[in-house]
Amino acid sequence: MKQMMLLTKKLLLSFLLLLTCFLVNTNEEIEKLIPHFFLQPIAAENKLNLDFFNDPLFFFPMIESEKVVYLTFDDGPTPQSGQLLDMLHQYDAKATFFMLAPKMKKHPDFVNRMVKEGFAVGLHGVTHDPNLFYRSKESALQEMVEAQKVLEEITGENSMMIRTPYGSIPYLLDSYRKAIETYGFQIWDWHIDSRDWELNEQSYVEKTIEEIEKLTQEGKHPVVLLHELNETLEHLPELLSYLRENNFQMKTLNDSIEPIFFECNNRCYEYGSEKKEK
Ligand SMILES: [Zn+2]
């Protein structure tokens, strides 16, 4: 909804600007004609200075750049992370990594590479064991705080982005969410589960492309769940080259984007019990 509104604003703004170009000649006059309340959200979303809008040509690349995909990789870093980063560079793709504390300790060089090379880093906890992670709101929060500490010790980065093991549905009860959000963490789930870990050969790529196209037509910027697995990497170039050839920008998640997360809506229940939360 937010993206639709933004797109509408951008289109309206483009129309205004085109009209303005026919009527006036100077930047000052353009600035007077386009109210700043149109420009500010666009500037904020794209991390731009308002001066940027003084160049009338800016609209054309911005309209073209509407196709955005957020690739996210869970459960790393792994011995394959270096290869994965090289591959992403090759296709001019950025991505976000939700990582586990013990694996970050094991592969600190890869974690540092991610930060230095402009990828986004998020937290995935410590144990990845639903029995331990979802035992209480304290255990869930504590695992994320621990992962945050490890990330900060390695890189100096202090990430507030988290993804809970297996996603927030069904075990992240509302009381857990409250504790996590009160601490300041942002919960991220996904639009598209690539099912890279269970689908054979390249069928995960085909399925993911199909879903990305569908959501893009609905005006969304899909968040895609992938894993740092050998099987994923094997067919990832097919996905990356498709996205490049079809003018998708592959960007990192960040604080200025509204997080995508599943809500309980009576679907959450305690791990180990089939009883629904009241
Ligand atoms: Zn995971």
CATH code assigned at 203: 3.20.20.370
Measure 84 CA to ligand 1 centroid, in angstroms. 17
Give the integer Cα–Cα distance in Å for 184 and 178. Answer: 10
Measure 225 CA to ligand 1 centroid, in angstroms. 10
Position 27 in a domain: yes
Which of 15, 41, 64 finishes a domain?
64
pLDDT tens track for 98-121 = 999 999 999 999 999 999 999 999
Q: Is the pLDDT of residue 80 over 80?
A: yes
Q: What is the pLDDT of residue 250?
A: 98
Q: Provide the 8-state DSSP code for 172.
A: S
Which of 49, 64, 79 finishes a domain?
64
* 138 and 234 assigned to the same domain: yes
Measure 98 CA to ligand 1 centroid, in angstroms. 8
Going from the C-alpha of 239 to that of each of 208, 210, 211, 244, 245, the distances in angstroms are 8, 11, 12, 9, 10
Which of 48, 64, 80 finishes a domain?
64
* 85 and 202 assigned to the same domain: yes
Position 265 in a domain: no
Cβ-in-10-Å burial (0-12, 13-18, 19+) of 38 comes to middle
Confidence label for 273 from pLDDT (cuts 50, 70 and 90):
confident
Position 89 in a domain: yes
Q: Is the pLDDT of residue 23 over 90?
A: no
Confidence label for 278 from pLDDT (cuts 50, 70 and 90):
very low
Confidence label for 272 from pLDDT (cuts 50, 70 and 90):
confident
User: Which token pair is 230?
Assistant: 């050998």
Place of tokens 């013990």: 102
* 52 and 75 assigned to the same domain: no
* 83 and 168 assigned to the same domain: yes
* 41 and 99 assigned to the same domain: no
Measure 264 CA to ligand 1 centroid, in angstroms. 19
* 177 and 162 assigned to the same domain: yes
* 102 and 239 assigned to the same domain: yes
Measure 125 CA to ligand 1 centroid, in angstroms. 9
Domain count of the chain?
2
Measure 117 CA to ligand 1 centroid, in angstroms. 23
* 72 and 99 assigned to the same domain: yes
Position 204 in a domain: yes
Measure 88 CA to ligand 1 centroid, in angstroms. 20
Position 121 in a domain: yes
Measure 214 CA to ligand 1 centroid, in angstroms. 25
How many Cβ atoms from other residues are within 10 Å of residue 19's Cβ? Answer: 11
Dihedral sign for Cα 214, 215, 219, 222, please: negative
Strand, helix or coil for residue 187: strand
* 52 and 82 assigned to the same domain: no
Position 260 in a domain: no
Q: What is the pLDDT of residue 39?
A: 59
Q: Provide the 8-state DSSP code for 231.
A: H
Domain carrying residue 164: 68-250
Place of tokens 């790529």: 205
* 108 and 136 assigned to the same domain: yes
User: Do residues 168 and 261 make contact, with C-beta atoms less than 8 angstroms apart?
Assistant: yes
Give the integer Cα–Cα distance in Å for 80 and 151. Answer: 19
Confidence label for 182 from pLDDT (cuts 50, 70 and 90):
very high
Strand-pair partners of 73:
97, 226
* 122 and 14 assigned to the same domain: no
Position 258 in a domain: no
Report residue 2: phi and psi, to 5°. -60, -40
* 30 and 108 assigned to the same domain: no
